[in-house]
Amino acid sequence: MASNQLALTVMGGGGDNKLGPVVAGGGVVVVGDVEGQLGRSNRAGVVDDDESRDINNIGEFDYSKRAQWLRAAVLGANDGLVSTASLMMGVGAVKQDIKAMILAGFAGLVAGACSMAIGEFVSVYSQLDVELAQIERNKVTKQQQQVHQKTTTSSSSSSELEELEEIMSLPNPLQAAAASALAFSVGAVVPLLAASFIKEYKVRLGVVAAAVSLALLLFGWLGAVLGKAPALASSLRVFVGGWLAMSITFGLTKLIGSSGL
């Protein structure tokens, strides 16, 4: 019996792959390692869709998620720096005594840190109450929908899991209060340390102004870097705002002190 042999050729990524002969007339078909060769070709020239998505997502980060805590940290530190420095410069405008200047700065640090902590605690607790009430309303609504639609147990478990995730993501008032007080204190320490070891009046004012200026630029730059914002514009904005507050406080206090009121 004559046998007709047919040579099949599969074009792969690396050239022609010859397969074994196919014997007609009821013979045995030998096709070779088709799947292995095709798999190697796919691995050599084709990237899986999931791997492609992972590669595209590398380096992507939503910096807007940092906005809330970044704003609280920068605002707290800048507030402590500017308010304490302004208070010390205001007292220094009418009194050259280093003790009076340091006591004024320390009082500003304690009062400001307590004020920031209490204000943040009340604010975040109010937000927490609103979000808890909304979660409870959503829970009642979902239960009513499940009763009407007669949903399965798996749907109920999914709703409970979503509710647990929402509760875990709620803000913590105590953490927010502690963070605000700490940030304020960090900023307020700068002018206090700058003025603590200098007895000469004019030199002390100059050192405080220089230390506060450097800290203002640093806080502005740090906030811009963490938020991926323009560093120069942010630093200048914080610097100008801080100097404006200190200048107004120093000038008005000097005016009132010289008028004898």
Is residue 121 within 8 Å of 171, Cβ to Cβ? no
Interatomic CA distance for residues 244 and 255, integer angstroms = 16
Interatomic CA distance for residues 148 and 156, integer angstroms = 13
How high is the pLDDT of residue 132? 82
Domain residue extents for the chain: 1-43, 64-123+175-258
Interatomic CA distance for residues 253 and 116, integer angstroms = 25
How high is the pLDDT of residue 87? 93
How high is the pLDDT of residue 257? 83
Task: Mention every residue, 6+ apart, whose C-beta is less than 8 A from residue 85.
Answer: 105, 190, 191, 208, 212, 242, 246
Interatomic CA distance for residues 144 and 138, integer angstroms = 10
**DSSP state, residue 64:** G
How high is the pLDDT of residue 137? 81
pLDDT digits (tens, 9 = 90+) for 69-80: 666 677 789 899
**Averages of pLDDT over each 10 residues, the chain, 261 residues:** 42 44 44 45 45 45 53 82 94 90 94 92 87 79 70 56 66 84 94 91 92 92 80 90 93 84 57
Enclosing H/E stretch for 162: helix 153-168
Q: What is the value of pTM for the model shown?
A: 0.64
Q: Of 125, 121, 130, 109, nearest to 176 (Cα)?
A: 121
Residues 50, 53, 58, CA angle at the centre, nearest 5°? 130
**61 phi and psi angles, rounded to 5 deg:** -150, 135
